[in-house]
Amino acid sequence: MVKIEHLSKKYNDNIVLEDINLEIRKGDVVGIIGPSGTGKSTLLRCVNRLETPESGAVWLGEKKIEIARKNVKELRYLRQNTGMVFQRFHLFEKKTALENVMEGLVVVKKLKKEEAREIAQKELEKVGMAPWANHYPKHLSGGQQQRVALARALAMKPELLLLDEPTSALDPELVGEVLDVIKKVAEEGYTMLLVSHEMNFVRHVANRVIFLEKGHIVEDGTPAEVFEHPKNERTREFFRKMHMMNQPEYII
């Protein structure tokens, strides 16, 4: 089980997140949606402390990690046990796909090279990138890079996987291949926090959806509840706009 407690974050006077509390069961895929600038990405980045919040704690199983304080040991534990997939992939440019996946295993988990290579190869296979193991990021398309990035995060066997808009930097054509892999990963039982604008995807892959608005959770429920019967006025308005966009401009 993963728990986020009293997470607050502000930039100067601008409150981005206010007292967020979230309990995630093991194996849950939680989709976080909401308008731009409501702190969806900030929430993820605070959870593994790429941003330092004003207050808050994260529970990974039985272990509580205060994320507002700097504690090198706790921080390492937190980061070793959470995986992150970024919007812009952020693969290590000077390393091949395989080396990218091996990096955390060798440097952080201190595995032997051969052992790490074996795990990395398996992870690459899982995301369908095994033939490209020796390619460098610059040789790969966005979708391929993102799949390698997923493999890199998964190789560490994280208790919590954070996906920060994993498809928004991709060509529409390449979105599908990444979503397929994420779906596969979700089915494997990884606990995930997924920020995405792909509403249809969130609806299908998540078993719980959270609507974030101005730093507050205003809607929290199963995809069916949130997408079909939103309780909050703001959520309804958001979906109304989305539906408008999905509809054709005119019909002959």
Partner 1 sequence: MGKLFDFELVFTSIPELLQKLPITLELALLAMVLGLLLGLLMAVIKQKKIRVLTQIVNFLISLIRGTPVIVQLYIAFFGIPMFFKYLNQQFGTDFAVAEIPGFVYAVVALGLNQSAFCAEIIRSALQSVDEGQIEAAHALGMSFFQTLRRVILPEAFEVALPTLGNSLISMIKSTSLAFTCAVVEITAQGKIIGGRSYRYFEVYVSLAIIYWVITIVIEQGIRLIEKKIRIPEQVELVVVRTDSGGGDKSAGVLRQAKAVAARKEGT
Q: Got the DSSP string for 58-122?
A: EEETTEEEESSS--HHHHHHHHHTEEEE-TT----TTS-HHHHHHHHHHHTS---HHHHHHHHHH
Subset of residues 102 to 121 that bind partner 1, contact rule: CB under 8 A: 103-104, 107-108
Q: Decide whether 4 or 217 has the Cβ nearer to partner 1.
A: 4
- Which are the contacts of 63, defined by CB distance < 8 A and separation ≥ 6? 77
Q: Which of 30-38, 60-68, 84-92, 185-193 is the region at the interface with partner 1 (rule: CB under 8 A)?
A: 84-92
Q: Taking the complex as a whole, how short is the minimal distance between the CB of residue 84 and partner 1, in angstroms?
A: 4
Chosen residue from 84, 170, 192, 199 binding partner 1 by CB under 8 A: 84
Q: Which of 23-31, 52-60, 82-90, 185-193 is the region at the interface with partner 1 (rule: CB under 8 A)?
A: 82-90
Largest CA distance in the chain: 65
> How many CA atoms are closer than 13 Å to the CA of 13, on its beta-carbon side?
0
Chosen residue from 120, 148, 150, 156 binding partner 1 by CB under 8 A: 156
CA 10 to the chain's CA centroid: 21
Q: Which of 57-65, 90-98, 188-196, 210-218 is the region at the interface with partner 1 (rule: CB under 8 A)?
A: 90-98
Subset of residues 28 to 57 that bind partner 1, contact rule: CB under 8 A: 48, 50
Residue type, 104: G
Q: Taking the complex as a whole, how short is the minimal distance between the CB of residue 183 and partner 1, in angstroms?
A: 22
Chosen residue from 10, 122, 135, 157 binding partner 1 by CB under 8 A: 135
Q: Beta-carbon neighbour count of residue 93 at 10 Å?
A: 9
- Which are the contacts of 143, defined by CB distance < 8 A and separation ≥ 6? 170, 171, 174, 175, 177, 178
Residues 212, 38: Cα–Cα separation, whole Å: 6
| 194 neighbors 164 (Cβ within 8 angstroms) | no
Q: Taking the complex as a whole, how short is the minimal distance between the CB of residue 206 and partner 1, in angstroms?
A: 22
73 binding partner 1? (CB under 8 A): no
Contact footprint for partner 1 (CB under 8 A):
48, 50, 72, 76, 79-80, 82-84, 86, 88, 90-94, 96, 103-104, 107-108, 125, 130-136, 138-139, 149, 152, 156
